Amino acid sequence: MASAIPCLLLCLLILAPHLGSSYRTGSINGGKHVITRDGNGLAVTHRLSPCSPSAAGLGQSMPSVGDASSRDALRLRGLLDDSADSRGLTIPSTGTPLVDLPDAPEYHVVVGLGTPAQNLTVGFDTATIGATLLQCKPCAAGDPCDKVFDPSQSSSLYDIPCGRTWEGCPITRCSTPGCTFRVTHNGSLVLNASMEKDTLTLAPSVHLRGFRFLCMEMMSEVPTDGTSGVLDLSRNHYSLASRVLLSPDTVAFSYCLPRGAESQGFLSFGTIRPELAGRSVSYATLHSRAPRRNLYFLRLTGVSIDGLDLPISAQALASDALVEVQTTFTYLKPRVYEYLRDLFRYAMSNYKVAPASGELDTCYDFTDMDAIGVPSITLSFEGGASLELGLEQMMYFSNPHNIFSVACLAFAPAPAYGSGASVIGSLAQAYTEVVYDLRGGKVGFVDNRC
C-alpha cells in the first residue's frame, strides 16, 4: 500500500491541469461523426506510466535503447517493407496486412463502447489496417477476459452483414450471415474476427453511433499490457479519423504525446484550428506513398543544427517522411544522418563521449555535469512547417528522471527496405501538438502543448 501512495500523488499532479476538460454534444450527420471539444480531450498516458489505466507500467522502467530499437525495427519492417516475407497476417480475400495486432501500443486512452458503455483502455495508431482492432469475448481458454469488450451486453451492437462493402465488410464469402472470418498464420488459427458497429463514447455527452470495428475473439496471443485493442486513426476511409465531420474551422484530430511515464498528453477530435484559437502553428503538406496510402507522409526538405543547414544538396536530403506514434526514434536517409551526426558531434566536442548504445552511435556521459547545452535541431517540411527539437526531443536518456545521466542522439539511419523514406518518431513529437487537417491535406505542429 505504501508504494501506491506516491503513484497516486504523482497521478494527481499529472492530471490536475486536465481535470477541467469538457465536451459538447456529439452526433452523426450524413454518415459522418460530428465531434466538438472544449478542453484538452482524452487523456493520453505512456504505456509505462503509473497513471496508465491499464496499470501495466507499475514497477517498470522506460525501455533501454536496445529494447526501443528492437520495437522500432519490428514496427518499421511491418510498415515499410513490401517484400512478400514481411506482410505478416492477412484478412482473407483482401490481402490486407495485419502487421500490427494490438500488443503493447505506446500510448493509452480510455473510451466507452456499447450501450451501456463498457470502459476500455486502448492504444491509438495512425498506421493501422483501416479498422479499429478490439479484443472481444469469448476469450480463449485460460486467457484473462476481464478487460475486453462483451458484445452480448450491448443493446446497440450491429452485426455488419457479409458482403456489404458499403458498410465496411471487406469480404464477400463468410461462414455466417455476418461479416465474419478466421485469421490464420502458417496454418494455425490466430483468431476469429467479425466486423461490427456500435456506439463509441469519448465523453459523457459525445457518442459516435455506428462506429465500425474489428471484433477479435479466441485470440491465440492476447495483449500483455492490459489494453483491449487499438483505435484506428489512419487515412483509411473507415478509420475513426476519416469519420469526423469537418467544418472549415476544425481539424480531424490532434494529439500531444507525453515525453515519458511522468507526464500526460491528450488526444482530441474535431477540435478548432489552432490558428483560430490564437496559437501559432506551421503546416506541412500531406503526401501519399504507394502501396501504403493509409499512412501519413510529409516531405522532408531540410535539416539544420542551430540554424545552419546541413551541407548537402536539396535533392540528396529530400525524402518522404512518415509521421509515426509507435516508433520511438527518428530515422533519416543514411547520408543525411551522417552529416547530422558529424555536425552534432563537432558541436558537442567538449562533452565526455559515452559508448554507442544499440543503433544510437552518438552518446554522451552527463553524470558529472550541472548544466548542459546542446545545439537545436530543426526539421523542415514542404508546405512551410518546421519542427524544432529541444534537449528531451532529440536525446534519449538512460535515466529519464535525470538529464545528468548518459544520453544518446535519438536519430539513426533509415532502414534500406524503406525505399528512402524517413521516419519522424514519437520522441521528436513529444510536447508538440500534432494537428491532422485531413480536409486541407496537411499536418500542423504547435510547440509546447503538453
The least confident of 31-40, 189-198, 238-247, 332-341 is 31-40
Does residue 191 register a pLDDT over 80? no
The least confident of 36-40, 222-226, 353-357, 398-402 is 36-40
**Per-residue pLDDT tens over the stretch 251-288:** 999 999 998 767 889 999 988 999 999 999 999 999 99
Residue 376 contacts by C-beta under 8 Å, 6 or more apart in sequence? 305, 306, 307, 388, 389, 390
The kind and range of the H/E element at 5 are: helix 4-15
Does residue 21 register a pLDDT over 50? no
Query: Which of 163, 120, 176, 167 lies closest to 145, judged by CA?
Result: 120
Q: How many residues does the structure list for the chain?
A: 450
pLDDT range class, residue 436, cuts 50, 70, 90: very high
Burial class (CB in 10 A: 0-12, 13-18, 19+), 146: exposed
**Per-residue pLDDT tens over the stretch 338-394:** 999 999 999 999 999 999 998 999 999 999 899 999 999 999 999 999 999 999 999
Does residue 104 register a pLDDT over 80? no
What integer best gives the mean pLDDT of the chain? 82
Residues 209-224, mean pLDDT to the nearest whole number? 75
Q: Position of cell 464469402?
A: 173
What is the SS3 assignment for 35?
A: coil
